[in-house]
Structure 1
Amino acid sequence: MPATAPTTQVLIVGSGPTGLTLACDLARRSVDVRIIEKSSAFPRSSRAKGPNPRSLEVLEDLGVVDRVLAAGSAPIPMRKYRNGLPVTDTDPFETSRPTPDAPYDRPHLIAQWRLEEILRDRLAELGVRVELDSEADTLTMGPDSVTVGLTDGRSIEAQYVAGCDGAHSRVRKLLGIPFEGKTDEEQSMVCGDVEMEGLDRGYWHQWFDEDGAVMLCPIPGTRSGWWFQAAPERDPAGALVPPSLESFQRLLARHTGLPGTRLSQATLLSTYRVNERLADRCRVDRALLAGDAAHVHSVAGGLGMNTGIQDAFNLGWKLARVVTGQAGPGLLDTYEEERLPVAAWTLDFTSERLRATLDAIAQPGGGLDAAVSEETMGLGLGYRWSSLSPAGSTTRLRAGDRAPDAPCRDAATGLVIRLFETFAGPHFTLLGFGPGTADALRATEAAHGDTVRVCGVDAGTGHGVTDDGGHARSAYGIEPGTNVLVLVRPDHHVGLIAPADDGRAVTEYLHRLDRRTVRHSGGLDQSIGE
């Protein structure tokens, strides 16, 4: 008898920001996707404080950035205290401004549960809903599918499964993938959402002293809700005291001098310990890992949720091409090839940022702003080492780099249009700078249809865009009067840079991408942010 087809093309285990981003990306590519969540109700986690600029670019591409910006707030100044008295106010983004090539210049504060609501709403618009009370229990790999057994006795067969189920990932454990690293019990923090009146909501308040700390940040969209973080209490034996309303009240009174009774309704309680762990691989045949299931690290710099969102954005287009038959399974090797070095770099970087922050708060006026740097914005991360990044460069970019934005004008209507608007959606984009690229643009459009959207930049083709302000050429490092082709991948990274007369390079690139068996090109010591 012929084998029956899998019940779905992709099964996603875990409905946090990583799993939801992946589900949205796959669903808009017409992939049959299911996403399951072991909880009986949607978790209301608030630990992650919001997307960084690179994740905002991802959310724009998914069509939800306006909702995210409306539901949250820009970062607020940090007010630092010593001995209960304010010492200084610091705004680490005071001098930051959007630029033509980077429309988002700072992170955005939003409760994680609210971001997840927005992504679930977008996913529902695409015809997919999260399936609650569905906990993975077993995983059986077959030649053409993978079957996940659930704890209630049901099973789901899929072409591929993506484990986006957090640091304690059941999928990772079932695959037998090591999760090596360390847990620092000394660097611990208790967290929760609290209600508090009488504190200025225009600041992120941070009290530091010799034996502890309390931090209170207002939760956007609430009247009196705050994120509470503190160095935990310890009992006489030195063990951590579990978080509770009463312990939060004691910590508040001890480190701030404010009455503990000002704080009420502590919920979403947790104890955070600094974990630095990395999976030694992200793929076993038809199963893949993303987000915290593959890597965990210090919260310094706020890169945890953001790294997971960007994992999903890298994986989505590749997985879609494989399950729809456009590419062979070898394309999925490039997910691990590109993202595992980024995860390893993130572990090292956040560890360094944690040390810098601890050194800073030991001094009057020091605070969490010490964790903020250009790298925490996520805009400099690329894949220059990847086998999907062949030789090719301009004065500013190399294959593998993030593709910049730029405001231009629609050649037909004269209206302002950004390059990101051209990139948006499940396709490659071929930018042709200069009239010498017109033939290559026409040939690519005829040969590749919906796979590649072509966009001439001052190419004189009657459509595309005009670069009146020179912003596109500046962002892409292309001198006036020169003619260059730039192929942008669906995840907004540069795939190829080629001379204008080498239109065949695009077809050859797509052919290699879709049909070759991709080789890994290196270990975890590759340069990340060049």
Structure 2
Amino acid sequence: MTDVLIVGAGPTGLTLACDLARRGLAVRIVDKSPGHPRSSRAKGPDPRTLEVLEDLGVVEAVLAAGSAPLPMRKYRDGVPVADADPYAGSAPTPDAPYDRGRLIAQWRLEEILRDRLAGYGMAVETGTEVVGLTDDGTAVTVALADGPDVRARYVVGCDGARSRVRKLLGVPFEGGTAEDQVMVCGDVEIDPGVLDRGLWHQWFDEDGAVMLCPVPGTPTGWWFQASPERDADGRPLAPSADGFRRLFARHTRLPAARLTEATLLSTYRVNVRMVDRYRVGRVLLAGDAAHVHAIAGGLGMNTGIQDAFNLGWKLAQVVRGRAGTDLLDTYEEERLPVAAWTLEFTSERLRATLEAIRKPGGGLDSAITSSAGGPGRDYRWSSLARPGGDGALRSGDRAPDAPCAVAATGEPTRLFRILAGPHLTVLGFGAGTERALRDAAAAHGDAVRAVRVYGAGDPEPGTGAALPDSLHDREGLASAAYGAGRDTVVVIRPDNHVGLVSHTGGFDAVHRYLEVLDGARGPDPTSVAGMVDGTGKG
């Protein structure tokens, strides 16, 4: 029996597979496509997703293969009328190392994730279609179109908007399709030198639009998006290579023959839909299988990857018997509101963009806001977010980065390097936290990384006295980012969200919290609902 069967090998499924594989689970990932599609649909990871990819150990490859977001040049009637750089003036900060996303073709990102997966001895099983699911309460029997049944403790449907897994579960996909909001898309080749590849070109005319963004890592490849051609009755025509050339010539005023090739042609209609639950027994949903929305803001792939990062550690803890199944309920509790917010936000951004492009100089920069490109949503409402912390940082928030030094050697490092990996992290600020840190390390072993953070005013730690992962916060940036006073303990979840901030001297809450996330002893201590103090009141 396999621990987890993942259905769908796009960015969401691959992220989940990599996360579970590094945690030592027996994982299979299947996809009904006969090969790996060379899809360029998503244009790349946003800042929070780059943090996830850093944790998974692939961000350097992504940065090398991609490019920074490009300035946008807007045209009207073939004439440039405005340039815009939505990220002008932004820069990384000590607590957020990525101030902007990265442009990279989806197929290239998937290649990088598959390479990472191969390092764990795993490969995607292509040409494998799921046609049936039977959950008997202890495992799921998965029927395949061609091959023997598979038994898995859990199944995760990452198989896109037309998800077979979701349909087999009978989970409604409520929402609607805007039939009048249609766009044709594809990958095209354009003769070298015709357009500046340092710009994202956008022609918005009264009778339609064409948008061309260069695909990183290719000499002549471009993402092509356009208003469709229409027949005499106003119905949109199916995309074709000749149609793309006509649209190109009409809006750019360049010769049609300059567009030499068009592939991966598709018609996009705005769908705004989501499920009402992420889990049915031992089967879960993630990514487009659970939510689809307008493309404004570029949040589709990113939301799916962040679904997977939220789910991976929880699923692993439950499968390994280190947490109760209630922990899986927090996946839906945390991610369903994020999906609802994303649908509302992207619909509003689409409306703003459609309004902006009616006037010369309007463009896709209208869809980019700090909310769209920021470090992700918090989970302050979650039952895993414990009371505590009285500053800007609260339980449920994304854990901030900060430059530090390795206490034993003085070597520069960052908090994100300490957080990276399949473990919980406990940060201790102040000498009074050392017992709590040692107790956590002793009780949970490799599952917890206990880190004493020495501040600028603390004495230099002796070589033998410091905990193995001690850090020196010489500039005080870590203490400031975490709002840490003297004797503060911060528990950080494996998905790099703050779980608990404790300023109390005994730190009993830290022990109880860690027991919930790691250290199942039976039904009571493993229950999220049992995350309470001795009075039973939390």
Does the TM-score normalized on the shorter chain lie above 0.5? yes
Determine which of 395, 399, 404 is the counterpart of 1:403. 399
Mapped pair 1:496 → 2:497: no
Determine which of 161, 166, 182 is the counterpart of 2:155. 161
Q: Which residue of the partner structure matches residue 280 of structure 1? A: 276
SS in 1 for 2:23: coil
Per-residue CA distance 1:69-109 (angstroms, 9 max, x = gap): 00010011101101100111111111110000000010100
SS in 1 for 2:502: strand
Mapped pair 1:179 → 2:173: yes
Determine which of 317, 323, 329 is the counterpart of 2:319. 323
Mapped pair 1:290 → 2:286: yes
Mapped pair 1:379 → 2:375: yes
Using the TM superposition, name which of 499-508 and 246-255 deviates more. 499-508
Instruction: Give percent identity, aligned residues only.
Output: 66
Where do residues 385-424 of structure 1 align in structure 2 (5 Å cutoff)?
385-424=381-420
Matched pairs, number: 513
Distance 1:462 1:327 in 2: 30
Q: Which residue of the partner structure matches residue 534 of structure 2? A: none
Per-residue CA distance 1:172-199 (angstroms, 9 max, x = gap): 0000000000100111110000000211
Contact 2:323 2:516 survives alignment (8 Å)? no
Q: Which residue of the partner structure matches residue 477 of structure 1? A: 483
Using the TM superposition, name which of 249-258 and 19-28 deviates more. 249-258
1:503, CA displacement in angstroms? 2.7
Determine which of 255, 262, 268 is the counterpart of 1:266. 262
- AA of the residue aligned to 2:515: H
Q: Which residue of the partner structure matches residue 357 of structure 1? A: 353
SS in 2 for 1:148: strand
Mapped pair 1:66 → 2:60: yes
Distance 1:408 1:103 in 2: 14
Using the TM superposition, name which of 71-80 and 392-401 deviates more. 392-401
- AA of the residue aligned to 2:217: G
Distance 1:517 1:472 in 2: 32
SS in 1 for 2:495: coil
- AA of the residue aligned to 1:511: E
- AA of the residue aligned to 2:45: P
Distance 2:198 2:504 in 1: 52
Distance 1:336 1:520 in 2: 18
Q: Which residue of the partner structure matches residue 512 of structure 1? A: 516
- AA of the residue aligned to 1:435: A
Contact 2:186 2:264 survives alignment (8 Å)? yes
Contact 2:137 2:281 survives alignment (8 Å)? no
1:362, CA displacement in angstroms? 1.1
Distance 1:226 1:483 in 2: 54
- AA of the residue aligned to 1:473: S
Contact 1:337 1:520 survives alignment (8 Å)? no
SS in 1 for 2:43: coil
Contact 1:36 1:131 survives alignment (8 Å)? yes
Contact 1:436 1:500 survives alignment (8 Å)? no
Determine which of 21, 26, 34 is the counterpart of 1:40. 34
- AA of the residue aligned to 2:98: Y
Determine which of 89, 111, 119 is the counterpart of 2:105. 111
SS in 1 for 2:183: strand
**CA root-mean-square deviation:** 1.4
Q: Which residue of the partner structure matches residue 199 of structure 2? A: 203
Where do residues 70-109 of structure 1 align in structure 2 (5 Å cutoff)?
70-109=64-103
- AA of the residue aligned to 2:54: E
**Mind listing any 5+ residue stretches in structure 1 that lack a counterpart?**
1-6, 522-530
Determine which of 478, 484, 490 is the counterpart of 1:486. 490
Contact 1:432 1:438 survives alignment (8 Å)? yes
Distance 1:317 1:512 in 2: 13
Contact 1:204 1:218 survives alignment (8 Å)? yes
The runs of 4+ residues in structure 1 deviating greater than 6 Å are none
Q: Which residue of the partner structure matches residue 298 of structure 2? A: 302
Per-residue CA distance 1:438-470 (angstroms, 9 max, x = gap): 121112111211111011111755241111111
1:394, CA displacement in angstroms? 3.5
Per-residue CA distance 1:189-228 (angstroms, 9 max, x = gap): 1000000021110100000011210000000000000000
1:135, CA displacement in angstroms? 0.5
- AA of the residue aligned to 1:295: H
Contact 2:7 2:159 survives alignment (8 Å)? yes
